[in-house]
Amino acid sequence: MTDNFIAPKPKTGAPYDTIIIGSGPAGLTAGIYTTRGALSTLILGGTKWGGQLMLTTEVENYPGFPEGIQGLELMEKFRSQAARFGAEIKLEDVESVDFSQRPFKVNAGNMGYEGKSVIIATGADTIWLGLESEQKLIGRGISSCAPCDAPFFREKRVVVVGGGDSAMEEAMVLTKYASEITIIHRRDAFRASDIMQKKVLANPKIKVIWNSEIVEIMGEMRVMGVKIKNNQTNEVAEMPIDGVFVAIGHSPMTNIFQGKIELDEKGYVKKMINAKWPMLNSLSSIEGVFVAGDVHDHHYKQAVTAAGFGCQAAMDCERWLESLKT
């Protein structure tokens, strides 16, 4: 079934029903739902639009694409689906926000925009190792998502960097595919929970190199090996491998929201249940400002969960705007 529905645009000088900040799976899914809910919608997508999937090559775990799909192509589909229903999409970086009164104000690309509501979907960035040799090989053997990319490393040798729960989880996922997994950790003890550490240390496929850091990732078109420095002896050894999984943490993209909205101790936007609106699950600390995706989600960080959160925030936003009319 097709329809030709297009969401309205705001009248000249009037605020948008909603401004969505971010254009990854959460923001664009929110845009698909808000426009189909007949809300005038502006998506401020950032100069680097599309989120983390734009750095990925093949995506094999997004439902609906049994043969897999390139990350860029998937995000272009999200974007054209939101545009099809009338979302106005501007690829500008948001410089500042003012949530102190409604309509909310959002400044981007030297323009000021007003929204009756805002959906924050700015995502989180993987913290990478910061090596010069790393950037060119991301998506070519370097990954930060084992559930997404482990199947590409069937019967291959990989390393996982980090000593937290994420690193343990990545290593465990990889045991289903890779032939050999080596965790490289900079200290002599993991910070991961006991139960996760025990699982990892008991798994015969996983080895650990303690007190060590990767100082170079070798390879031109794909990862061929790593140079590992023992930070107690300063000795550097080369290790031929096919993949590097970086699991040293994530950083939520919330700089512009500091002091404007409640963030947790790690900088993620806090979701709050507002006594007036107990049924709305995606409200932030400010009524009318909703949150979706990795910018609040420490745990799942998957494109499909981000898209789900985007849907939830849009439906909550629509319900909240509707209730203001009564």
Using DSSP's 3-state secondary structure scheme, residue 153 falls into: helix
Measure the CA–CA gap between 248 and 159, rounded to whole angstroms.
13
Q: Which residues bind ligand NAP (CB under 6 A)?
A: 129, 161-167, 169, 186-187, 191, 213, 247-249, 298
d(CA 105, CA 92) in angstroms, rounded, equals 15
Choice between 87 and 129, CB closer to ligand NAP: 129
Distance separating alpha carbons of residues 267 and 254, to the nearest angstrom:
7
Nearest residue relative to ligand NAP (C-beta): 164
Tokens 């963030």, residue located: 263
Q: Which two tokens stand for residue 257?
A: 């929201």
What are the φ/ψ torsions at residue 311 (nearest 5 degrees)?
A: -60, -45
* Residue 42 or 269 having the CB closest to ligand NAP: 269
Q: Toward ligand NAP, which CB reaches closer, 120 or 129?
A: 129
**Whole-number CA gyration radius for the chain:** 22
Cis bond before residue 25 (omega within 30° of 0): no
Q: How far is the CB of 93 from ligand NAP (least distance, A)?
A: 26
Q: Pick from 173, 167, 216, 157: which is nearest to 187 by CA? A: 167
Kindly name the residue from 3, 93, 125, 145 that is annotated as catalytic. 145
What is the rounded distance in angstroms from the CA atom of residue 252 to the CA atom of residue 249? 10
Per the annotation, the verdict on 317 as an active-site residue is: no
Q: Annotated catalytic residue: which of 3, 93, 98, 148?
A: 148
Quick one: 187 or 222, whose CB is closer to ligand NAP? 187
Query: By C-beta, is 42 or 223 nearer to ligand NAP?
Result: 223
Q: Is 149 a catalytic residue?
A: yes
The single-letter code of the amino acid at 267 is G
The single residue of 17, 98, 149, 316 carrying the catalytic annotation is: 149
> Which residues participate in catalysis according to the annotation?
145, 148-149
